[in-house]
Amino acid sequence: MFNPIRRSKKSVNLFAWIAAGSISISSLAPLPVLALTLDQGVPPAQLPANSAALGLQNAFIDVAAKVSPAVVNIGSEWTEDVQGYGNMNDLFNFFYGQHGMGQQQNPIFKRKQRALGSGFLVTSDGYILTNAHVVGKAEKITVTMQDGTTYPAKIIGKYDKVDIAVIKIVDGNKVFPHVVFGDSDNIKVGQWAVAIGNPFGLDHTVTTGVISAKGRSVEIGEGEGENGGGGSGVQNYIQTDASINPGNSGGPLCNIEGEVIGVNSAIYSQSGGSVGIGFAVPSNTARKTAEDLVNNNGKIVRAGLGAVVQSLSPAMAKSFGLSSNQGALLSDINAGSAAEKAGLKAGDVVLAFNGSPITDSGDLVSRLYTYHPRDIITLTIQRNGIQSDVPVTLQQLDEAALEKKGEGAGDNPNGLSGQGQSEALGLAYEDQTPDIRSQLPAGTPTGPMVTQVDPQGPAAASGLQHGDIILKLGNSPVVSSNQLTVLLKKSDLKSGVRLFVWRNGETLYTILQSGDE
């Protein structure tokens, strides 16, 4: 166990010598008695009771006193199959066993694993919110309160996509202190932030900082959790410089009023320790996820539009006549979806969600995480240079709803056929001949198909892939390779042109730009 107090080696050795009689105390000359009086100096100036410094200090003290009783230390235990040598008998058999030294494969044995994390009580009857990666593989969970009392707990449910889990103390008769949630949608960059948790097993450590940024997209890869519980995908995290270290995961990030505005989840660090870049799941996302896990037997009910969204690059935004790349582009609308019923179309750019500006696609998806099916929202969109507000009744999302059913295929209207290529763009394409169409999935739309992409060329840099079907160049529908060749020759490729392509049952936008300066 980590012990922050390190004993002096010299002091230990001196103690050993004295204990062994190596030093005769009676033979030593008496030490002179020193009269020492410390000068107290000039008394510090007393801050007025209403000073801003004391007010801020007291605010931090109040947050710690208010929230800490609800913060818990979570100990997880699980068993894993490990290849190696579990004990000396295994090692002896390796050297002297039946097959001789080194002839046996390393045996598989079970090893108990342990990990520590943080969490916080959200109800008086013992429900605790934490990170999914804190309890990922846990078979046994022990919760330790601020006063040292321990309780067994069980997993109610977890959702790896947002790295949130709910566990419950197995004690139905106890009333527990719990936190109060704040509204993470209303936080501002520069606000005070207070993190409370158990870094390196040092329970109920309080650190302070500010909200450094909002809407950070962070990828927490599989296996990076503290107990091997996997990780989350890309999420819009709150970034803070309040010190967060291993063991803080699952603890609360609070505002200056003691409301929980986030769940500490990850850090950016090359050393494994805090460098002032920590990330927390927004409280609104965490709260809705926790409610779903508790109310739906550990399952998540997600609300959505039934559309594919992507972020806008500056070049893409310019192609749609936007002055900035703030917003989310709808690149595909599922048939029969909430988006289609609301009249939304591919190419619409979502600028605001219930009156609040949207920064990118991740921001839009993150907002939807906090809503329920049949909730009505208002999206501010831009289409063909005109802004409008569109009410949308959200649908329930599941795997089937996320799959694009595909558009109906039609005949080539002008009967053109042929092949095209652009060496400058590193791109080759051709019409869908009967032989090619016979190999494509049902529902593939007509249009020239990309047959070759130079990995070093502009087409590859734009994200085009072999098998993509090009449907539009700018606002012009594309039905043949000959037409695409003509349109490319007329286009300002130095500035870039917008392509609308079909790929694996979904549509998306990309900017094709030549490498010429």
Count other Cβ atoms within 10 Å, centred on residue 223. Answer: 11
DSSP code of residue 181: B
Using alpha carbons, select from 204, 255, 159, 260 the residue that is nearest to residue 65: 204
Predicted confidence at residue 31, as pLDDT, reads 61
Domain 72-169 - what CATH class? Answer: mainly beta
> Are 86 and 101 contacting, i.e. CB atoms less than 8 angstroms apart?
no
Long-range contacts of 289-292 (CB under 8 A, 24+ apart): 289/159, 289/162, 289/164, 289/369, 290/122, 290/127, 290/129, 290/164, 290/166, 292/159
Q: Give me the CATH code for the 419-512 domain, please.
A: 2.30.42.10
Using alpha carbons, select from 463, 466, 469, 450 the residue that is nearest to residue 406: 469
> Are 74 and 135 contacting, i.e. CB atoms less than 8 angstroms apart?
yes
**CATH architecture, range 184-295:** Beta Barrel (2.40)
Intervals of CATH 2.40.10.10 along the chain: 72-169, 184-295
Chain centroid, CA 306 distance in Å: 22
Question: What distance in Å separates the CA atoms of residue 223 and residue 231, rounded to the nearest whole number?
Answer: 6
Task: Give catalytic residue positions.
Answer: 133, 163, 249
**Both ends of the chain: CA-CA distance in Å?**
59
- Predicted TM-score (pTM) of this structure: 0.68
Which CATH homologous superfamily contains domain 305-402? PDZ domain (2.30.42.10)
Predicted confidence at residue 379, as pLDDT, reads 96
Intervals of CATH 2.30.42.10 along the chain: 305-402, 419-512
DSSP string of 242-293?
Answer: S---TT-TT-EEE-TTS-EEEEEEEE--SSSS--S-EEEEEHHHHHHHHHHH
Structure tokens at 483: 């037409």
The tens-digit pLDDT sequence of the chain (517 residues) is: 334 433 333 333 333 333 333 444 444 566 666 667 766 677 777 878 788 888 899 999 999 999 999 999 999 888 887 766 555 555 455 555 555 555 555 667 677 888 889 999 999 999 999 999 999 888 899 999 999 999 999 999 999 888 999 999 997 688 999 999 999 989 999 999 999 998 887 888 999 999 999 888 765 543 333 333 334 444 688 999 988 888 888 999 999 999 999 999 887 655 555 567 889 999 999 999 999 999 988 888 888 999 988 888 888 888 888 988 899 999 888 888 999 999 999 999 999 999 999 988 888 888 888 898 999 999 999 998 899 999 999 998 864 444 443 332 233 333 333 466 677 788 888 888 787 888 888 888 888 888 888 888 888 888 889 889 999 888 888 888 888 888 888 888 888 889 999 988 888 898 888 865 4
The CA–CA distances, whole Å, from 163 to 63, 104, 274, 361, 485 equal: 25, 41, 20, 19, 47
DSSP code of residue 446: P
Structure tokens at 124: 């008086």
Residue at 344: amino acid letter: L
Question: What distance in Å separates the CA atoms of residue 485 and residue 469, rounded to the nearest whole number?
Answer: 14
